[in-house]
Amino acid sequence: MKEPFEKEKQESIKNLARSIDLKSLSNKWLADVSVYKYSYNFSWMGRPIIQFPQDIIAMQEIVWSVKPDLIIETGIAHGGSIIFYASLLELIGKDGQVLGIDIDIREHNRVEIENHPMFKRITMMEGSSIDEGIVKKVYEFAKGKKRILVVLDSNHTHEHVLKELELYSPLVTKGSYLVVFDTVVEDMPEGFFPDRPWDKGNNPKTAVWEFLEMNDRFEIDKEIEGKLLITVAPDGYLKCVKE
């Protein structure tokens, strides 16, 4: 039986999720602050994390709940997110590891990451996340890991993300998550990203929708999106519900 606090929280989340006005306001706010590169304002343990605080909190809840043996993230950038995941695994204890993959790990970022106290839990691979050789190395690295969580945050085109979903979803274990960031691109006005190859109709969310049409192991965790309201990953928190 749920505690009164938990029951009250769940009811509040349901009410938030039903509010069309709040969702509209959240999308407007997201679009307005993105012009100022809002997500670039934050760091984790000294490294730029380039995420919204709301999504950072959501990921903390997921990691603490799942307690994965391995977190795989495509897209490293400045390294803040892989350091974030490593720090959570450090708090959990045991032997949890983080594997970061990026097509271009810039030297100054590599140096900072490798000199960070949390690097002891981090392994990095340089190359395209959909390259056959990289994928083979990832699967070899993941052997023997009982609980695996995957985060996709690299190239945001439909084609690339769909391929990542197909390649990495088999690694995600039941009860864990496959998180796809920047699905919010679909909710932004057309042409909002003029210097990027993704746009409305061609982005991570459209890839998620197509993926879910042919894969029944995952369901969108609407509760996360409902309680956050402000998130770059609407429809992107996918819970693995089958072996």
**Span 143-166, pLDDT tens digits:** 999 999 999 999 999 999 999 999
What pLDDT shows up at residue 1? 53
| Residues ≥6 apart with Cβ < 8 Å to 224 | 58, 62, 231, 237
Residue 199 above 80 pLDDT? yes
Task: Give the whole-number percent of the chain exceeding pLDDT 90.
Answer: 95
CA–CA dist 204, 157 (Å, integer): 6
Average pLDDT estimate for 6-30: 92
**CATH number where 225 lies:** 3.40.50.150
| Structural domain for 200, as ranges | 4-240
Average pLDDT estimate for 69-96: 98
State the DSSP code for 41: G
Residue 175 above 90 pLDDT? yes
Query: 108 exposed, middle or buried (CB, 10 Å; 0-12, 13-18, 19+)?
Result: exposed
Number of domains in the chain: 1
* Block residue for tokens 């391929």: 163
What pLDDT shows up at residue 3? 86
- pTM: predicted TM-score of the whole model, two decimal places: 0.96
